[in-house]
Amino acid sequence: MQVIMEKLTKHFGETKAVQDFSVTLNDGELVCLLGPSGCGKSTVLNMLSGIIPVTSGKIYFDGEDVTKLPPEQRGIGLVFQNYALYPHMTVMGNITFPLEIQKVPPAEREARAREIAELVHMGNLLGRKPKQLSGGQQQRVAIARALVKNPRLLLLDEPLSNLDARLRLEMREEIRRIQLETQVTTIFVTHDQEEAMSISDHIVLMKDGFLQQHAAPQELYNQPANQFVADFLGNPPINNFPGKVAGDDFVMADGSRVTLGLSGKVPEGTEVNLSVRAESFVVESEQQPDRLTCTVDSVFQMGKEEMAILSFGGVHFRAYIASEYGFKPGDTVVLGLKDRGVFVFDLKTGERYI
Amino acid sequence: MIKQPQASQKSYPLNGALFALSWALMAAALPILLFLQNKWLALAAFLMGAGLLILSLLLDHSYTLRPLAARIIRYVLLVFGMLVMVFPFFWMLSSSLKTYNEMNYFPPTMFPQNWANFENFKIVFEKAPFARYFLNSVITVLGSVGVTTFTTILAAFAFSRLEFRGREILFSLLLSMMMVPFEMLVITNFQTIVKLGVYDTLYALIIPFTSSIFYTYILRNFFQSIPSGLYWSARVDGCTNWKYLWKVMVPIARPSLVTIVLLNALASWNSFMWPLLVIKSDLRRTLPFGLYHFTTEVGANFELLMAASTVTVLPMIILFLFARKQIIRGVARGGIKG
């Protein structure tokens, strides 16, 4: 189902949780709503499900305006972080409950529940109570219960946050598999960028109630719209060098400069951040104007690569360097910049120039 | 010797048999009394059963000496406490089976001469309509507990799940009403009952007791502990508030509800002052009130009084035996006596 949000806004009293949020999500996609805590992503989800009313703006499901529709008429399935299973019912009872409310005949209810339980690999545990299941199994049941009535849209609110690290990996692959098998349009809320990058078709990144960028994971990483997007994605985080634009050059406070061909792209004298991903440095043998001469602070072995902490112009930063060089702390290194993963952002507005 | 705690987890099949046998012996005491009329044999059976019960409980845990001694002391104290608690009830039961002459023996006898002497009960039921009192009590308790439970569930749901303006203020107001003692409300309640024209009817016993702030408060707290995710999952599936309340919340809150119903039933069964005020006719009295009235009637015939008391107390004792756990938990949680 295609989901369109148009200038969606939600205020809680003085607090502006979501503002002018406009996004179009395509049918059959798994989209992650990503952002730090308190950025409004769960609020967006709750507005989509109808749990909280919108302050202004519109929501369209397949062209139909559902902004004022009560939750039960929207055809959605919900999965919560704490699973929200009915503790007094068995797995079977939990999965059939939505059908029971819709007055589906018992025989059909059970058949559909069995089918969906097979899909989430819970077919052999239908008689158990939620208490007797592990966190991952409870989450499978919650997903089955959300899917059993064939929703047009599946909404998952931080579904993996309560699981331990191993189960989290397993369940995120499971969610992706189930989503691909059912082809249900899915919105997945998370604050974990790695989770979002690994399973989604598109990521909607939010901050302070505003949409930052809506793009495919790779595009978000390679073409961040602003400083926040660049900072939020990537592990280790992107390196930021503050400085000024002087002609073609980027000049730092202590006079260190790099020639980046900035004139014409960035206004003269603008205060900017030169942001470089850790994997975007190349070791060079001789100094040139477009290279950085840095000092090695420390080196961490990571197998085929080394993670080095270096300093340039008084700023410490991380870079991946091939092991073969064998640098030691105190060494001087000349680093060139690759084309990919090098950005220039306005220091004040965070707007991207390059 | 220190034993690992795991050792005490082990259960010995012999103990199960011992445990069952001990109860069987204690239970056998009653038929022996009634049918064989041999009180010493009955007493012997009972004591042997009790001894075996203690033994089986001891064996169930561990064989080490120090905990054993501690356990013996603990059980001796508990048995002593039990005797103190149970003795008045035993005395009541024993006296109710004695004849008028037996009652006046000096020194008093511990046991009645004939354990199957139900003559007193017969006289009690002839002298006063105790069957009717019993029925009145049952009707009052069922009526008031039934309606109170219903209104409590609805109010607790509204105050915990529904969102409306002034909800918290309204609830605080309700809670503050709990500070008003019942005795203060008696006058206005009485006037209301008279104006409603139900003075001296069973309605007068039920109508003022069809809601309870205290139980609403307990249940609301429990309802609030149920995660809102359950509610929204159900709502998204098209579940109405009404259906959600009865299909999800009430079943989850069942332990709390059982406690509330039991405490309420106990309080209602024992209520005395209110019936005394609003009931005039003999046939509409409840048991405690009827018993009180009976006291003044029969005067010094304590064996009859004890028989009447037995009739009054027995249903509550039976209820207690069946729902011991819930009552204890409820009283412990509520911090009030039932």
Is pLDDT of A205 > 90?
yes
B95-133 confidence digits (pLDDT tens): 888 888 888 887 888 888 888 788 888 888 888 888 899
Is pLDDT of B184 > 80?
yes
pLDDT band at B9 (very low <50, low <70, confident <90, very high): very low
Residue B8's Cβ-count burial label (10 Å; 0-12, 13-18, 19+) is middle
In this prediction, residue A206 carries a pLDDT of 93
In this prediction, residue B5 carries a pLDDT of 43
Read out DSSP for A50-101?
Answer: TSS--SEEEEEETTEE-TT--GGGS-EEEE-TT----TTS-HHHHHHHHHHH
Compute how many other C-beta atoms are within 10 angstroms of the C-beta atom of residue A35: 28
- A3-232 in CATH: which number? 3.40.50.300
Cβ-defined contact of A98 to B230 (cutoff 8 Å):
no
Residue numbers in B near A101 (CB within 8 A): 234, 237-239, 243
Q: What percent of chain A has pLDDT over 90?
A: 48
In this prediction, residue A5 carries a pLDDT of 92
In this prediction, residue B157 carries a pLDDT of 95
pTM: 0.74
pLDDT band at B168 (very low <50, low <70, confident <90, very high): very high
Q: A144 to chain B, minimum CA–CA distance in Å? A: 12
A107-121 confidence digits (pLDDT tens): 999 999 999 998 888
Per-residue tokens: B269: 């069964």
In this prediction, residue B3 carries a pLDDT of 41
Rounded alpha-carbon distances, angstroms, from residue A345 to A229, A262, A293, B35: 11, 12, 22, 100
Which of A76, A101, A150 would you mutate first to test chain B, the one with the most B CBs within 10 A?
Answer: A101
Using alpha carbons only, give the angle B285, B291, B296 rounded to the nearest 5 degrees.
110
In this prediction, residue A31 carries a pLDDT of 94
Residue bearing the bigger pLDDT, B152 or A354: B152
Cβ-defined contact of B239 to A72 (cutoff 8 Å):
yes
Residue bearing the bigger pLDDT, B38 or A329: A329
Is pLDDT of B337 > 60?
no
Of A22-26, A241-245, B6-10, which gets the smallest average pLDDT? B6-10
> How confident is the model over A285-296, as a mean pLDDT?
88
A145-156 confidence digits (pLDDT tens): 999 988 999 999
pLDDT band at B254 (very low <50, low <70, confident <90, very high): confident
Cβ-defined contact of B236 to A72 (cutoff 8 Å):
yes
ipTM surpasses cut 0.90: no
pLDDT band at A82 (very low <50, low <70, confident <90, very high): confident
Residue bearing the bigger pLDDT, B75 or B143: B143
Question: Where along chain A do the CATH 3.40.50.300 domains lie?
Answer: 3-232
Question: Where along chain A do the CATH 2.40.50.100 domains lie?
Answer: 239-346
Do residues B268 and B145 lie in contact, with contact meaning Cβ atoms separated by under 8 Å? yes
> How confident is the model over A301-326, as a mean pLDDT?
86
Q: B273 to chain A, minimum CA–CA distance in Å? A: 41
Is pLDDT of A187 > 90?
yes
Residue B54's Cβ-count burial label (10 Å; 0-12, 13-18, 19+) is middle
Q: Does B251 contact chain A (CB < 8 Å)? A: yes
Q: A149 to chain B, minimum CA–CA distance in Å? A: 8
Cβ-defined contact of A78 to B251 (cutoff 8 Å):
no
Cross-chain CB nearest to A72 (options B238, B251, B254) = B238
Fold of A239-346: OB fold (Dihydrolipoamide Acetyltransferase, E2P) (2.40.50)
Cross-chain CB nearest to A78 (options B233, B251, B252) = B233
Is pLDDT of B2 > 80?
no
Within 13 Å, how many C-alpha atoms sit on residue A92's CB side? 13
> How confident is the model over A192-215, as a mean pLDDT?
91
In this prediction, residue B1 carries a pLDDT of 40
